[in-house]
Amino acid sequence: MKRFALWMPGLMFLLSAAAGEQADQNRKGIVTYIDGQVRRKAIHLEEWTSAPVNTEILSGDKVRTFSESRAELDLAQLDIIRLAPRTEVDIIRLYEETREKQVSTQIHLAEGEIWGAVGKIEAETEFDVSAPIAAAAITGTVFRLKVETDSTTQLKVYSGEVRITNAIDKKEPAIHSPIPRQIEGPRQIAPPHEVSVEEWMVIIQSMQQVTIDKQGRIVSQGSFSHKDKDEKDPWVLWNKKRDEKIRNRLQE
């Protein structure tokens, strides 16, 4: 079963989802929907460029939306990530094989909000999503992750299960670049320091949410309902309709 992790410095979400083996030519995403201004920055370019529908998304790319804009990324025809207005994501790694022979995807949510719909098929896959302060483990999931300007982070799980902890993940993500880079010289490593927030781990299941403040502390946790005011937001309703269309298409 595919391990799907949402991780951020100081907090880690492990999410479970799935994907089959992908041929090299299929290890890319495609912009399948845009509304408003959507930009892409390729890893080898200095400037952002327009990202219309059918734009390819590769490892190392960044994608961002502007005010009153949104976008949908179909990642290798397996997993869907949608960007709300004023959102930026960094596609650090996209379906690349690791030393452990797993297919790994790593996405960093720099700011804003994303909606994820991760499919399930048999195969070992890592799908990691990071954000500034928090981190999680989910099984075959639909989720919503939001990062406020002060780094407060909220995760809502619509289906699946998440094991979420504020324990720091020491593993550094590998970033692959087609262009040479100057290697950073020796630098002093900070000495061990006292942990100011007690480490914790909780399980977030379907129709539950958790909110973490900028220090990595849980400030709210519990169930939510489709009848809640927040669930009537146009962004949420649009995502639910898009998910329903995908399900109907797959059943045809």
- Of residues 5 and 168, the one with the higher pLDDT is 5
Residue 192 is assigned to a structural domain of this protein: no
Residue 243 is assigned to a structural domain of this protein: yes
CB 136 within 8 A of CB 115: no
Q: What is the total count of domains within the chain?
A: 1
CA dist 228 and 234 (Å) reads 13
Lowest mean pLDDT among 8-17, 182-191, 198-207: 182-191
For 192-250, what is each residue's pLDDT tens digit? 444 456 888 888 889 999 999 988 889 999 999 999 999 999 999 999 999 998 878 76
The yes-or-no verdict on residue 63 having pLDDT over 60 is yes
Residue 181 is assigned to a structural domain of this protein: no
> What is the pLDDT, as a whole number, of residue 179?
37
- Of residues 241 and 165, the one with the higher pLDDT is 241
> What is the pLDDT, as a whole number, of residue 222?
95
The yes-or-no verdict on residue 252 having pLDDT over 90 is no
User: What is the CB neighbour count within 10 angstroms for residue 99?
Assistant: 7
Residue 182 is assigned to a structural domain of this protein: no
CA dist 240 and 242 (Å) reads 5
CATH of the domain at 124: 2.60.120.1440
Q: Give the confidence band of 54 by pLDDT, cuts at 50, 70, 90.
A: very high
Residue 176 is assigned to a structural domain of this protein: no
Residue 188 is assigned to a structural domain of this protein: no
> pTM for the complete prediction?
0.79
